[in-house]
Amino acid sequence: QVQLQQWGAGLLKPSETLSLTCAVYGESLSAFYWSWIRQPPGKGLEWIGDIIDSGSTNYNPSLESRVTLSVDTSKNLFSLRLNSVTAADTAVYYCARGRQFPSQFDPWGQGTLVTVSS
Amino acid sequence: EIVLTQSPATLSLSPGERATLSCRASQSVKSYLAWYQQKPGQAPRLLIYDASNRATGVPARFSGSGSGTDFTLTISSLHPEDFAVYYCQQRSNWPPTFGQGTKVEIK
């Protein structure tokens, strides 16, 4: 059974770079799309982008200028970097698996709350 | 970008009652619509994909229907563990987008 476990810094100052990593257990990265999705407190869900094992990416146009996804197939993990964060980037960030592009998402990581505050 | 509008925002029901949740798309998404359940402090869980297919392990009391712009998630008889927030999500057009959610609360 595939499991996603994520980690990263939970408190940032404005203008800093958000960095999160998601490790995939029980399955190879190949043949799937690996996404990041975020949820501001008390609000809905926003897809950030996805990546495949070759490193090819798709980004949400709303965040594309600040987002970079990367993959490390030797360690079976993928990562998110979001630069120049502001308070509006405060959210729970999730990693998730997709079977195609665009996709539905299953399963999801446990989520990481990232708070941006001076 | 396709906008998904869910209604109602909140549904107040008792255990054993039938829940009917709606999701309307701003343009056709064919049958490429999914439903998720989210409980407080947890990640969303996929319930239904491609409008009517139950994900692995999802109880049969959950069913999805619809195509084009109008979709429905039905919970035939609410169990105590079903009180949660439900989101729809389309994968017909890029980028994938989510509805704003319907909260099913205990009456």
Model pLDDT for residues A30-89, shown as the tens digit of each residue: 989 999 999 999 999 999 999 999 999 999 999 999 999 999 999 999 999 999 999 999
To probe the interface with A, which of B98, B100, B102 has the most A CB atoms within 10 Å?
B98
- The pLDDT value recorded for residue A31 is 83
- The pLDDT value recorded for residue A101 is 83
Contacts for A80 with CB less than 8 Å, ≥ 6 apart: A8, A18, A19, A20, A21, A22, A36, A48, A49, A67, A68, A69, A93, A95
- The pLDDT value recorded for residue B94 is 92
To probe the interface with B, which of A46, A103, A104 has the most B CB atoms within 10 Å?
A104
- The pLDDT value recorded for residue A106 is 96
All residue ranges of chain B with pLDDT < 50 are: none
Asked if the Cβ–Cβ distance from A94 to B43 is below 8 Å, we say yes
Asked if the Cβ–Cβ distance from B91 to A103 is below 8 Å, we say yes
